[in-house]
Amino acid sequence: MVVDGKIIVELKAIEQEHAMHRAQSIHYRKSSGLKPGLLVNVGKMRLGLQRVVFTKH
């Protein structure tokens, strides 16, 4: 979901995080043109947060 037109927040309910989840999040940022984002995992007993920023290289 895009919040305030500035940041993408992606909610997941997964047991284990994989590199493909982060890659998918980066793809969303490339496609949208938005740089900052949060990847939130609510599938564990402990809430998982990752800040993801797309930068052009």
What DSSP assignment string belongs to 1-57? -EETTTEEEEEE--SS--HHHHHHHHHHHHHH---EEEEEE-SSSS-EEEEEE----
* 19-23, 37-41, 48-52, range with the lowest pLDDT: 48-52
Q: How far apart are CA 44 and CA 48, in angstroms?
A: 8
pLDDT at 27: 87
- pLDDT for the residue numbered 34: 86
| Model pTM score | 0.65
**Predicted local distance difference test score (pLDDT) of residue 57:** 57
Comparing 34 with 56, the larger pLDDT belongs to 34
CA distance 46 to 22: 18
Instruction: Quote the pLDDT of residue 18.
Output: 84
8 Å CB contact between 22 and 4: no
